[in-house]
Structure 1
Amino acid sequence: MRRLSRALSRAGDSKAKEAKEASTISIEKSPSPPPPTYHESAQAADDELRPSDVTAGFSKLQLGPSSESVPRPQECTAHLKLLECFYRLKQNIAGSEGLFGISSDFVAKLDEIASHALPDGGNNDNEILALLAEKRWQVYVSRAVSRFAEWRNALEPRYDYYTLARATMSKGQLLADRVEPEKAKPILFDAENLPPVDVLMVWHSYMLNPRAYLEDCAREGRMRLWHTPMPWQAIADAINSESFVYEVSKTGMIMFEEQTHLNWNNLEDSMETSFQCPHCHSTNSIPWTTCGRISKNDEDFQSEQVPSYVKDVTYEAVRAQLSTCDGLADSDFNAVCNSCANQVTHDSLRAGKFRSDLEKLLDGDVLMPGNILGKDGLPSRVGTTLDKTGYSLFAFPSKLMNAGLARQILTFNQGSELRMASIRDSIEEGILDRKLVSKARNTHGWTLNRSESLATRRMMSRYWENSSPFALDLVGAVVRQGSFVEKMHNIDWLHSPALPNTMSRLILKYVRFIGIISKHSKMAVPTLDVDLAWHTHQLNPSGYLQYTVAESRTFIDHDDKVAEAKLNDAFAETSKLYQKLYGEPYSECTCWYCEAVRESHTSTASRLFRSNNAMAAEELHDVPSDPKKSVHISAHNAVRPEGDKTYDMAVAQRLHDLERAYNKACQRADKKGKARPKRDDYYYSDAYGYPVYMPAYAPYVGAMAFTPVIYPVNPGCMALGVGAAGNCCAGTCGAAVAAGSCGSGSFGSCAAGMGGAGGVAGCGGGGGGGGCGGGGGGG
């Protein structure tokens, strides 16, 4: 598939040369603070910070209880402080030579090999070093997710599962009662009981998937945790304002270790972990990764399998070796059970998770996941807003399993047939069985209606590409958040003298953003400043639910995966609506992409008559702007669909439209004697500690992992093609179901393709994470 972002690239030899020169610059120093993103003229003098005290804006935050319905400026500031802590943690872990046995000591030898193997005698060391650093971080995050699961279990060790009987007998009222803030008993955090930073990082990413987080907490009866907001005061106090190192008391460390039986420091835990065999349920030990065994032999890095047209032969050889590692955190995990001698892979672990949930349903009446909430994401009732679909129509998958399909799957999907594809086949056969469906529905009808089809896809979305106990793959969620974390570091609002005013401005912009979602049946996409406030709000789950339902009558989700082209279209529409409603440009940036988007919705007439919108857009050029540090579209959740020719054709048309709008902006700049909007044909990312040339620049490219093959689940792609992992169960999809309405509400890449690319970005996505009929956003 022709990549959307690569197609936008115009990188030539001169640009590559510039990139190579720039890569020699040390990235050890933090970038100097950029000028304030918002115009200084709008800033009150009282809000300015003294330039000599660069930590004054965030070193002594006062964050007591609040009755406000939206985030406070101090909370957004504390959030920025936490994100900078995460950024520096990532840089430290990724750059730790030899960590998890992943060493770069052979890079010098590769240079020697390359001088003989390659025509130009060159070798890109930074790409190889970044590749190895990325793998260290991926293993660290995998361990962090496992540690988070243990911590979560220790906080609320007793399960109070939400059962099918409870859901139907109370008509959803029980769940509605559990989310009422008046009945909440949140967990109180302070310096004595905060978790380690890696666990906190996973919790942070988990909460930024609001519907999935609520569903998991409700299904397992962990509502105390759900009612607990991010403890900003304790966190802000724990992070050093100069080094951004996370430090808690010795008492707090001991408490964590006693509760979880883990070490406080992720790196002090064992290099081995364990998994439960999905066949016989016995426990087996396995290394987290086997990447420390990468061969150092010269001949292994001159593989004949590397295509002759690939210049960076040694890089490709290292990448190929990393992709064959078979630890639990590796993409090619492969083990043989010590008890039953069955083969265990990532796919069989996912199938085993499905079987385990079937057993919980049969033995304890526990609802299958994916269908706790209604079509609008509501637990039956929030305040005066009702949604009765959750306890009735969405119980269908559990009823179908109880009607006999569960026994069939448990009986026949064993041994070599313990695969997600086999389970999908069984479900396809089940929904074509008239007697089985009629029994599940307790009626004579057997054809699945729209809601039942959606419910089936929502259930399956929890298993495709996900063997964890959570509704989504949290390793991928943390990796995708890394893109946003890096952008917040680059913008560096923390050290701006306009910090207080900037936080107030972005909260106002966020309130307007939610208003656009509430009043217009279009998917809304945030800019980076709006997304900071949006994320901060989601870190108070109960308050966020109450606010979004009151404003829009839906529980606005924060879609974790949105197709790049869909994000582009929705951003253009959001920009148009915002400028029309408020007379201000949405993205206060003058890069070529933002210029092209503004050009597409600023009419000739408005320019001719000097309308407020046109004049506001022109004024942006009066303030110098660095595109790398500007508030672009927020695209950390952008993913690239694979295997969909229709998507590729649509991408080509969007490229043509963007190109035409960009050319118009250039012509206008020429007429006014102004510089053309700069079109960057490349960009650098030092996400893993090394500046790497990326010939695929577009501001809406999200978490494009350098090396997707090292992940069990590629965090930057979703499969849509026929036959791809996660494709529809036949009979559960169709245009009516997959179309983007606010109520399509399933998580992100619903079965990575079940239901197609339609659905709701921000309302969970009825398929691959697409549109949003008035109830969500894609940031």
Structure 2
Amino acid sequence: MDPPRYNQVLDFIAILGQSDPTAFQSYNYSIQHEYPSIQRDKVTQINSKSLPTIADVVAHLKLLKAFGALKAKVLGTTSVIKDLNPAQHKYWQVFITNAVRRFIIFVSALRKYSCDTVSTVVREDIFFKVIKNKKFESMMSQIMPPLDVIMVWHAFLLNPKTFYDSFTRTDFIVFAKYPLPLDRIHGCIDNTTFEFNVPEIYRENYSSLLQPFINDPNDLIFDPIDDLLAVRITDKQVNIYCPRCQKPLTLYSVPLSTTSETGFADPGFEAYSTEDIDEQIRNNPYSQVECICLLTSVWNHDQLRKLQLYHDVHGDTELSHAYKYFSSIISRVISIRRSPYLASSSVKSYVKNRWNNLQLNLYKEMSLVNLIKSVSSLPDEEKRLKNLLLRSYLQFNLIYFTVRGGIKIGEDLVGCVLRQERFVEKMNTTVNWLHSPFIYQTLSESSNRYVNFFHMLTSSDLKQMLVPTLDIDLMWHTHQLWNYGYFKDCLESPCHTGIDHDDTVDENKLDDGYEFTRKLYRKLFNQEYSICYCHSCIMRRSATTNKFSFWMKSGSKQMRLEEKTIVKNPLFSKDEGFSHISTHNSIKLPTSQAQMKRRKSITASSLEKDRNNSHYYYLPNSSLFVILPGVPVDSGMSALYANTLCCSIVNASSSYGNCGGLCKGGSRDGQGNSTGGSCGGSSGGGCGNSSGGGNSSGGGNSSGGGGCGGGSSSGGGCGGGGGCGGGGGGGCGGGG
């Protein structure tokens, strides 16, 4: 496609004003009586996909501005992240905690309204049903959630497989299939102040939706700023309920935060149980206890997570993340011996046996991480499966405990929002594309580049992680704001599987992934992937001078012609250059190999320099966060992660460290086939060469080799999984 003309000036207001409603994917969804069918055995043409339009992306940028305006209003300052003081960071973290609670109230009330019954037996095939739930769709068209709730919804959508897993296991898959309504949201945002102003009828309908579910009048307040005026956020009190018996866990309601850092949104949370019955049950087996929650006299976050695991292990629904890693719907079926049900059942049986062998006092005193580690004496493959499904419980921020009967979302949504803010700040202040006089040309070019990127991303031959530039990541984010449409496009691509966008990738992976992406993009499309004149990118080019000698020859005629083209490009600015590597999802993993790799990583070194001025994401300040956004895994948990967290991109059914030992073979051909060894290469993105080892003959990438091969490293790549989902059950599927 020819490059766009740069002489036409259209600001974002003109673009949105001149856009027909059908220019928005969410509007097109709303006027269809059925979901577009998914033909996962076919490869559809790019023009028939649900790729974001220019109007979608402009509306998305406008929404990011609204998030920035909300934060400025809450904190009373427009300062960027690194310039905020610890008290401001803490206040914002507590505000987001409350926003997550309000989001859980919203989706829980919506499920109660939309679904006649809620089943604990998951029918994953409902995802493919084309008939819409008319009651749900009608309500969604008549309401508009508050901006803080939308902010949480938005961040959650950018973890597509986790989003899918959460609403599949809680029998609310219709919500997972509904797009963020950008066509209506942007109309509520002021074009100058970016304040969020919702029509009164939408506000009234939203309140009416919540009233049958929640009793506290403060929970019915629509505007988050009005909520702050009613009760100062740090003074807000919440009750905590047991997920099994639904009874209160504490004698009194607890504050979200305290000066002694013992509130529910504080890392040192502590509250006394409703009753201490140690004497009554000292000599009794667990079976005679009305509910396991009665065994705990003092609650903290670790005890709550332990209670959540106990509830899940003894419940009917699969364990958290089972459908993220082993779904047969959004992933290619590689191994029929592992379905979400079978994987969960195996791990549940191991934990139950361990629990039954624990003495009462040992159970009460043992931390969750030590409990998980103590489930031992398993074959290596089963041990890795156990680590894979249980380690996520260590990072839970169980805000849903404060909502009686709330949808069970353990994911740290506070961390999701906070990690996204790095990207939001880039968009709003650093590059500020929304106010560029060349926004139309910029996004037109970015759209073309994203088509190329998506082609690379969904290739059946891809075996390493791809790292997007900022402009491509913006397109990728916008694409994911309709979970169903995004997975439809992935399933109808050559890889025929859902591509995850994980927001927790260790920093050391970014260099390898970015270099691989740059080379592949140049090879396939004969275009530069990214030319940037900012400090960190100059360092990266300088570190590989021989690879960029073309750009160092200042006298080269070719270089002058290319440079002239680059400087005229609408994506180029003197401050930020062409298009920056997107690092907002980077985190620090405390394993020895990851730490060693970071010391050698240019990207990690650049982030470390910024970290020295940031109290927000990187400093391990224990007084701020329940789960540190930039360091979600502490050293005590690192043994459960090999040398990686999940990767951003997967073309198999999972993407976990060391492959979890659940797939067979030492190499992978892009179709999921393997030939010996213990794991088959990197699964369509995988971890690439990011954690060392395993990427060459003898290291496991050819037949007979051990370890992770096929371009993968010991840190991971391909996943096992697949198989059939659980059966039976009704509940809130997709029916009319």
TM-score clears 0.5: yes
Determine the structure 1 residue equivalent to 2:222. Answer: 264
Alpha-carbon distance in structure 2 between the residues aligned to 1:407 and 1:197: 45
Aligned counterparts of 1:133 and 1:739: Cα–Cα separation in 2: 31
- For 2:142, what is the secondary structure of its paired residue? coil
SS of residue paired to 2:240: strand
Q: What is the rounded CA distance, in whole Å, between the counterparts of 1:577 and 1:191 in structure 2?
A: 43
Structure 1 residue 70 corresponds to structure 2 residue 58: no
Q: 1:555 aligns with which of 490, 498, 504?
A: 498
Aligned residues of 1:637 and 1:702 also touching (Cα < 8 A)? no
**Partners in 2 of 1:356 and 1:765 — Cα distance?**
36
CA–CA distance in 2 between the matches of 1:46 and 1:607? 30
1:372 equivalent in alignment to 2:323: yes
Whether 1:539 aligns to 2:481 is yes
Show the counterpart of 1:745. 654
The 2-side partners of 1:358 and 1:625 are apart by 54
Greater CA deviation, 765-774 or 154-163?
765-774
1:427–1:651 distance in 2 versus 1, CA, 3 Å:
closer
What is the distance in 2 between the residues matched to 1:77 and 1:69?
A: 16
Which AA in structure 1 matches 2:488?
Q
Contact 2:188 2:198 in 1 (8 A): yes
Alignment of 1:344 onto 2:299: yes
Secondary structure at 1:463's aligned position in 2? helix
Quick one: distance in 1 between partners of 2:346 and 2:52? 43
Counterpart residue number, 1:83:
64
Matched, 1:387 2:333: yes
Q: Is the 8 A contact 1:371 1:455 kept in 2?
A: no
Contact 2:179–2:482 at 8 Å: present in 1 too?
Answer: yes
Change (3 A) 1:427 1:711: closer
Which of 557, 575, 582 aligns to 2:518? It is 575
Q: Report the secondary structure of 2:396's partner residue.
A: coil
Question: How big is the shift at 1:646?
Answer: 3.0
TM-aligned CA distance change 1:151 to 1:497, over 3 Å: same
Cα distance, 1:585 vs structure 2: 2.3
CA distance in structure 2 between the aligned counterparts of 1:588 and 1:188, rounded to whole angstroms: 47
Question: Is residue 372–residue 394 contact of structure 1 (8 Å, CA) maintained in 2?
Answer: yes
Output the CA distance in 2 between the equivalents of 1:206 and 1:739: 15
CA distance in 1, matches of 2:447, 2:690: 31
Kept in 1: contact 2:534–2:575 (CA 8 A) = yes
- Measure how far apart 1:748 and its partner are: 9.5
Equivalence map 1:160-239=2 (5 Å): 160-161=118-119, 163=121, 174-175=123-124, 177-180=125-128, 182-185=130-133, 187=137, 192-239=142-189
Equivalent of residue 151 in structure 1, options 97, 100, 106: 106
One-letter identity of the residue aligned with 2:593 = T
Matched with 1:717 is 631
The secondary structure found in structure 2 opposite 1:187 is helix
How much has 1:750 moved relative to structure 2?
Answer: 11
Corresponding residue for residue 48 of structure 1: 9
Q: Which of 470, 495, 512 is matched with 2:409 structurally? A: 470
Is the Cα contact below 8 Å between 1:380 and 1:389 reproduced in 2?
no
- Amino acid in structure 2 at the alignment position of 1:526: P
Deviation at 1:495, TM superposition (A): 1.8
Q: CA deviation at 1:210?
A: 0.6
1:374 CA drift (Å):
5.0
The 3-state SS of whatever aligns with 2:477 is helix
Q: Which amino acid aligns with 2:528?
A: P
Check 1:616–1:470 CA distance in 2 against 1; reply closer, same or farther (3 A cut): farther
What's the counterpart of residue 282 of structure 1? 248
1:672 match? none
Q: Select which of 355, 371, 375 maps to 1:409.
A: 355
Kindly tell me: are residues 531 and 355 of structure 1, through their superposed partners in 2, closer, same or farther at Cα, counting changes over 3 Å? Answer: same
Per-residue Cα deviation, 1:603-652 (whole angstroms, up to 9, x for no partner): 5489889797996468546777333586311111111223x333333233
Separation (CA, whole Å) in 1 of partners of 2:206 and 2:657: 32
Cα distance, 1:708 vs. partner? 5.5
Question: Which of 385, 392, 398 in structure 1 is aligned with 2:344?
Answer: 398
Q: 1:129 to 1:547 in 2, by over 3 A?
A: closer
CA contact under 8 A between 2:682 and 2:688: conserved in structure 1? yes
Change (3 A) 1:454 1:765: farther
Q: Please state if 1:632 is matched with 2:580.
A: yes
Deviation at 1:530, TM superposition (A): 0.5
> For the aligned residues, what is the CA RMSD?
4.4
Of 273, 289, 306, which aligns to 2:238?
273
Unaligned runs of 5+ in 1: 1-40, 98-125, 167-173, 294-323, 434-446, 660-678, 684-693
Preserved contact between residue 749 and residue 767 of structure 1 (Cα < 8 Å): no
Structure 2 runs not aligned, ≥5 long: 29-47, 277-295, 399-407, 661-677, 692-712, 720-736
2:401 matched residue in structure 1: none
Change (3 A) 1:535 1:357: same
Partner of 2:239: helix, strand, or coil?
strand
Is the CA contact (8 Å cut-off) linking 1:331 and 1:709 kept in structure 2?
A: yes
Name the CA distance, whole Å, in 2 between partners of 1:513 and 1:651: 26
**589, 598, 601: which is aligned to 1:641?**
589
Residue by residue over 1:552-587, the C-alpha shift from the partner in whole angstroms, topping out at 9 and shown as x without a partner, is 222110011111121122112212222333233222
Following superposition, the deviation at residue 370 of structure 1 comes to: 1.9
1:374, 1:388 within 8 Å by CA — same for their partners in 2? Answer: no
The amino acid that maps onto 2:191 is: S
Corresponding letter in the other structure for 1:574: T
Question: 2:703 maps to which residue?
Answer: none
Give the alignment's TM-score, normalised by structure 2. Answer: 0.70
1:136 corresponds to which residue?
91
**Amino acid of the residue matched to residue 274 of structure 2?**
N
Correspondence for 1:654 among 601, 615, 620:
601
Q: 2:371 matched to 1:459?
A: no
- Which residue identity does 2:265 align to in structure 1? A
- Greater mean alpha carbon deviation, residues 85-94 or residues 340-349: 340-349
- Per-residue deviation, residues 414-433 of structure 1 (Å, max 9, x unmatched): 667347x6455555555526
For the Cα contact (< 8 Å) 1:84–1:244, is it kept in 2? yes
Structure 2 Cα separation of the partners of residues 429 and 352 of structure 1 = 17
Is the CA contact 1:639–1:716 (under 8 Å) kept in the aligned structure 2?
A: yes
Change (3 A) 1:381 1:372: closer
Q: Is the 8 A contact 1:761 1:770 kept in 2?
A: no
**Worse-matched range after superposition: 525-534 or 242-251:** 242-251
Encode CA deviations 1:352-404: one digit per residue, 9 max, x unaligned: 111111232xxxx32222222555xxx4246xx84164773554443235647
Deviations 1:714-739, CA, capped at 9 Å, x for gaps: 00114364xx136329xxx699x999
Cα separation, partners in 2 of 1:750 and 1:193, compared to 1, 3 Å: farther
Is the contact made by 1:272 and 1:286 (CA closer than 8 Å) also made in structure 2?
Answer: yes
Given that 2:419 and 2:584 are in contact with CA atoms closer than 8 Å, whether structure 1 keeps it comes out as yes
Mapped partners of 1:622, 1:613: distance in 2 = 14
Q: For residue 406 of structure 1, what is the amino acid of its counterpart?
A: K
Structure 2 residue 535 is matched with structure 1 residue 592: yes
Amino acid in the other structure paired with 2:502: D
SS in structure 1 at match of 2:513: helix
- Give the distance between the partners of 2:375 and 2:689, measured in 1 at CA: 22
Matched-pair identity in %? 25
Q: Report what 2:311 is aligned to.
A: 356
Residues 239 and 248, structure 2, Cα contact 8 Å, conserved in 1: no
Shift of 1:272: 0.6
Q: Distance in 2 between matches of 1:343 and 1:680?
A: 39
What displacement does 1:464 show? Answer: 0.8
Aligned to 1:479: 418
Q: Match of 1:432?
A: 377
Contact 1:217 1:225 in 2 (8 A): yes
2: CA distance between counterparts of 1:266 and 1:747? Answer: 37
- State the secondary structure of the residue aligned to 2:587: strand
Describe the shift of the 1:631–1:287 C-alpha distance in structure 2 as closer, same or farther (beyond 3 A): farther
Please point out which of 484, 501, 513 is paired with 2:441: 501
Deviation string 1:434-467 (CA, Å, 9 cap, x unpaired) is xxxxxxxxxxxxx353xx4443233213311214
Counterpart position of 2:471:
529
